[in-house]
Amino acid sequence: MIEDEALMADANLLKGMALFCRASSYLTLARHFSADYDPATASTELSVPLILVYDQLEKPARATLKEVYDQIIADLDEAEALLEEAAANGTIVLNGNPAEGTLNLAGQPRAMAPTVDAVKALKARYYLDVHEYELAANTAMDVIDSEAGYALSSTLEDMDKEFMTDSGNESIIRMYASKAEGLVGCTIYTTVQSTDAEGKFFAPMFIPSQTIVNAYDNSDLRKQTWFPVDMYPVKIKGTLYNGISMFTKYIGNPTLQSGDNEDGAHHCKPLMIAEMYLIAAEAYAQDGNQADAKTILNELQSARKAVPTEGDLESIKKEWLRETVGDGQRINCIKRWGDGLPARPAQKAAEEIVMVTPATDYTEREVAATSHTLVWPIPTYEINITPTLVQNPGYSAE
């Protein structure tokens, strides 16, 4: 038992942060390896093993979705209480080094560790998942109205600060990153290369569909900053082509760049204030309150210089796509809504180049709302070493 009050305070602070991290990890795992949370079936739907005490010899079975989500909210409730207690004592010095700055445990933009606001943001995700719409809206609004000073980017300059140099005020958490640590960048959408003769060019694995490009109004800051045309030419089969919109949301932070080419290195930002606007809007709409849904949705749209819409669920779904494109959130959204993925036509310029053969293998491919591929398979290796695990439907045991 810790008797020293200062040591106990430190221990409680670290415990609160650890509980937040465990809740975040389990929410991510459950969203990917389980079906969507349905209160009517959550008690029987299998999720992931629930491991709360380390035991190397344990052969765990998969817990139910309700058991996992119950643990998530229990961890978040305790984390919030512990971090609120720590926040009452003021800011802390990061890593014991004043040169690295301080952290307001109540919440601050670009916080490099869990805060009370971060816990609330994760709770808002949880409440939306479990259909507790009033709590989801109220909790998301608590973060939006926080005294921390989060602010949606509303100019091209602000968009560059947020998504290029990671210095904006939208991130509730912004993970530490440094060039010295040898960062691995997100280059799946860009992959900038160069030669002396050709200069810089894109050599991407994917080119945005026409559906994605057309999802934005021309005035939308996101279209202007995330989908530029001819920033660099695109190299396909040894030839450079112009006139293709590329997705550059994660092209990289110049201060973290190791060489001459943009390498996708950036500060990971797992919780953003824009998501809180989307959660609040969706929760209001799901609860039959389209007036408040419209108000909060329009605030986000106006900041992005997009044309304001009504607060109906279909409009909110479209805004989720526009705002979180490339963030890995799409699978969570379509599962939550019971939607599939429709076919997406290619950009005309890309299709004329014959990026794929035949192009229809990609542009006409759909994913049904009932497809088993919306739930990830349990890795075969895990099943081989832990025979008590059960594979998800639709996947081979081999």
Q: 229-246 pLDDT, tens per residue?
A: 989 999 988 899 999 999
- The structure's pTM equals 0.95
| Residue 180: predicted pLDDT | 87
Residue 93 has what pLDDT? 76
Residues 6+ apart with CB under 8 A from 376: 32, 33, 392
pLDDT at 375: 97
Per the model's pLDDT, the better-predicted residue between 7 and 277 turns out to be 277
50 CA to centre of own chain? 23
Structure tokens at 88: 């009452």
Distance between start and end Cα atoms, the chain: 48
Helices (H), the chain: 5-33, 65-87, 116-129, 133-144, 156-163, 210-214, 221-226, 273-286, 290-303, 313-324, 330-337, 348-352, 360-363, 380-385
For the cut 80, the answer to whether the pLDDT of residue 378 exceeds it is yes
Q: Which residue has the higher pLDDT, 80 or 352?
A: 80
Q: For the segment 17-75, what is each residue's pLDDT rounded down to a tens digit?
A: 999 999 999 999 999 999 999 999 999 999 999 999 999 889 999 999 999 999 999 99
Q: How far is CA 42 from CA 45, 196, 336, in A?
A: 5, 58, 13
Q: What is the pLDDT of residues 199-218, one digit of tens each?
A: 999 998 889 999 999 999 99
Check pLDDT > 90 for residue 223: yes
The widest CA-to-CA distance across the chain, in whole angstroms, is 72
Lowest pLDDT segment from 174-183, 195-204, 374-383: 174-183
- CA–CA dist 307, 370 (Å, integer): 33
Residues 6+ apart with CB under 8 A from 229: 243, 244, 245, 246
pLDDT at 102: 86
Per-residue exposure over 309-343, b if at least 16 CB sit within 10 Å of its own CB, e if not:
eebeeebbbebbbbbbbbbebebbbbbbbeeebee
Residue 89 above 90 pLDDT? no
Q: Where are the domains of the chain?
A: 180-265+340-365
Q: What is the pLDDT of residues 113-166, one digit of tens each?
A: 999 999 999 999 999 999 999 999 999 999 999 999 999 999 999 999 999 999
Q: Residue 6's pLDDT is what?
A: 80
Question: For 2-22, how does the pLDDT look when each residue is reduced to its tens digit (9 = 90+)?
Answer: 568 888 888 999 999 999 999
- So what's the pLDDT on residue 236? 87
- Is the confidence at residue 316, as pLDDT, over 80? yes
* Structure confidence at residue 397 as a pLDDT band (50, 70, 90): low
- In this structure, what DSSP letter does residue 210 have? H
Say which residue the tokens 């990609």 belong to: 362
175 is written with which tokens? 């993970």
Task: Kindly report the backbone phi and psi dihedral angles of residue 84, in degrees, each rounded to the nearest multiple of 5, phi listed first.
Answer: -65, -40
Percent of the chain at pLDDT > 90 equals: 80
Average pLDDT for 175-192: 88
Q: pLDDT tens digits, residue range 321-370? A: 999 999 999 999 999 999 999 988 888 888 777 655 566 666 778 899 99
